[in-house]
Structure 1
Amino acid sequence: MTRSESSAWQPLSRRHVSTRDEALFEGVPDHLVRPLGVWITGYLDGRPELTERVALQLRVALDAPNPEQLVEAVSISDTSTLLDVVDVALHLDKRLWWDLDVAGPEAKMEAGLADWIPAFGWPEGSRAAAVEGLAEMLTDAGSAFEVDWRQRCLQRRVNATVTTAAAQAMGMDGGGHLQASWAATYGRHPDPSKAYDEAIRAVEAAAIPVVLPNGTKETLGKVLAHLTQATDKWELAIGGQNAGAIGPLTEMIRLLWQGHVARHAGGPTFRLQHQDEAQMAVHLAATLVHWFTTGAVRQRRSV
């Protein structure tokens, strides 16, 4: 049985009830309170400086930088705040940064003995290994949140295929803005307007060098205007019956640009962006970034 098959396993009572996924739990449900508290205590044990920084970030007063006291203090009023403790601890932990960005995983001596044994894994006792245990715990508990390994924090759980596609786009031009948009969309404390702003900036960073490379102070609106006026000079990689016409591209850009209602504060149409708008915007931006940075949008060869 492979790792993915194991993660998809369901207990007998739920195995054949429905083909739909079980609803995910928001916050920290009762069955997750104790194991999450134990994980936090173990992760912060012997790290008074990290415990102190987490408490300061969350505005929690402690008699001493004691992980158990921190867990108890944040759990009194709202157990969901335990997720904030985890989120902040992951993001501030420089040892975790080292494990992920420098040391990396190590080859497993037992690799190949069975198909479920991975070829590489985190060293026992490393911070990354502890976070991997956290990730499994959140999955097993049906949490609506998961570990964001790229930005070292928690994020709202998203379909794995969609996450992989977005991660690929984050490594391209505009990827920094795309990362910021993703974090503001799916992080512990979503900020839909910021997410939408960053989605626009991500597409601008990818599209302007392709469409308006010699201009100054260009915007996505100017990119859209140029493509709309010069449709015969551009094509998409997919030819089809429309011979690569860029109509689908301009409609996608128009949808993203005109839906940016939070762009002009004080204007007649101004309002904060909604969460579902941010979610659609970040995924639309990921597609557009990919198209512009891989040559899927290009000048017609006859021009």
Structure 2
Amino acid sequence: MTDRDDWQPLSRRGHISTREQALLEGVPDHLIRPLKTWIAAYLADHPKLTGRVALQMRIALDTPDPEQLVEAVAASDLSLLLDVVDVVLHLDKGLWWELDVAGPEPTMEAGLADWLPDFSWPKGSKAAAVEGLDDMLMDAGSAFEVDWHQRCLQRRVDATAAIAAEQAMSMDAGTHLRAAWVATYGRHPDPSKAYDEAIRAVEAAAIPVVLPKGTRETLGKVHAHLGNASNKWELAIEGTNDGSVAPLTELIGLLWKGHVARHAGGPAFRPQRQDEAQMAVHLAATLVHWFNTGAVRLRKSE
């Protein structure tokens, strides 16, 4: 929840075209000790939470000791330290309270300079510790960051794309869209589930607009209707095509026909790939936004 920028140390400027190209998977050597220290400090004096995390990780502990948990996980697979963090964020109800109810506090420096925050988490709070974790992961070049809404780790995504998706998630189709996002960028991606949820998100947004009186409608039926009755619909951008919905129909068709995992056992069936899921979830966010904001509408003559 802190500001991000594209600053790079002097020796790396000009050598990496984007920050994402430098992102590191797993737990690189320089992150091992800081991550272990963070986990142990966060779980200190929380034996119940430590015990639950150990159970989730299938780690047998003599006592609910965070240090023992950390070393046991690291001895098994260093990358699983990220899973420990993921589980901690998901299970800690105290953190949930701070994020969803208590919230950050106004700062005394608010308004003095544009780089000073207007709000901050109280010193010693769990949210402040998680904010420190998020900064640590960013500084270490990790491919993962904190998902503050789902209270877990997610794969680092371009900030502009993430903001656009977040806006779409606040709409009626947001439940499906957020599930697609987590299945795409979470610690354990599930591309087929992500694609399924992306389809459901667009259906939830499009069907009430295009086929409001129908039953058992699908995105395929929405696609067919827009193709057959294109003269009845328009887009907010008129352009040189008088607001033709042909571009919209093409995008919906791309998403629908690319859903190869929906017919198990069929000749074209296969699991969706990760790159397909990523494209699908961002395309779905755009389509959800269009349908929910009136960018797709009946022509006035209709």
TM range (shorter): over 0.9
Instruction: Return the alpha-carbon distance in structure 2 between the equivalents of residues 111 and 132 of structure 1.
Output: 19
2:244 matches 1:245: yes
User: Cα distance, 1:9 vs. partner?
Assistant: 2.7
| Letter aligned with residue 10 of structure 1 | Q
Q: Give the match for residue 287 of structure 1.
A: 286
Instruction: Return the alpha-carbon distance in structure 1 between the equivalents of residues 85 and 254 of structure 2.
Output: 36
Question: Which is worse superposed, 112-121 or 165-174?
Answer: 112-121
Q: Give the match for residue 127 of structure 2.
A: 128
**Residue from 10, 15, 22 that aligns with 1:12:** 10
Instruction: Return the alpha-carbon distance in structure 1 between the equivalents of residues 16 and 39 of structure 2.
Output: 34
Q: Give the match for residue 118 of structure 2.
A: 119
Q: Give the match for residue 177 of structure 2.
A: 178
Question: Which is worse superposed, 14-23 or 189-198?
Answer: 14-23
Residue by residue, what CA displacement relative to the aligned partner does 1:158-200 show, whole Å, maximum 9, x if unpaired? 0000000000000012110000000000000000000000000
| Letter aligned with residue 253 of structure 1 | I
Question: Which is worse superposed, 277-286 or 108-117?
Answer: 108-117
| Letter aligned with residue 208 of structure 1 | I
| Letter aligned with residue 254 of structure 1 | G
User: Cα distance, 1:4 vs. partner?
Assistant: 4.5
Secondary structure (helix, strand or coil) at the match of 1:10 reads: coil
Instruction: Return the alpha-carbon distance in structure 2 between the equivalents of residues 20 and 282 of structure 1.
Output: 22
Moved over 6 A (4+): none
Secondary structure (helix, strand or coil) at the match of 1:75 reads: helix
Q: Which runs of 5+ in 1 are unaligned?
A: none
Q: Which runs of 5+ in 2 are unaligned?
A: none
Instruction: Return the alpha-carbon distance in structure 1 between the equivalents of residues 14 and 269 of structure 2.
Output: 48
Equivalent residues in 2 for 1:145-164 (5 A)? 145-164=144-163
Equivalent residues in 2 for 1:1-303 (5 A)? 4=3, 7-21=5-19, 22-303=21-302
| Letter aligned with residue 270 of structure 2 | R
Identity rate of aligned residues, in percent?
74
User: Cα distance, 1:127 vs. partner?
Assistant: 1.0
User: Cα distance, 1:111 vs. partner?
Assistant: 2.0
TM-score, normalised on structure 2?
Answer: 0.97
Instruction: Return the alpha-carbon distance in structure 1 between the equivalents of residues 249 and 202 of structure 2.
Output: 13
TM-score, normalised on structure 1?
Answer: 0.96
User: Cα distance, 1:18 vs. partner?
Assistant: 4.3
User: Cα distance, 1:61 vs. partner?
Assistant: 1.1
User: Cα distance, 1:8 vs. partner?
Assistant: 3.0
| Letter aligned with residue 245 of structure 1 | S
Residue by residue, what CA displacement relative to the aligned partner does 1:87-137 show, whole Å, maximum 9, x if unpaired? 011011111111111011110012233332101111111111111000000
Instruction: Return the alpha-carbon distance in structure 1 between the equivalents of residues 3 and 241 of structure 2.
Output: 40
Instruction: Return the alpha-carbon distance in structure 1 between the equivalents of residues 125 and 118 of structure 2.
Output: 17
Instruction: Return the alpha-carbon distance in structure 1 between the equivalents of residues 290 and 51 of structure 2.
Output: 45
**C-alpha RMSD of the superposition:** 1.2
Instruction: Return the alpha-carbon distance in structure 1 between the equivalents of residues 28 and 110 of structure 2.
Output: 36
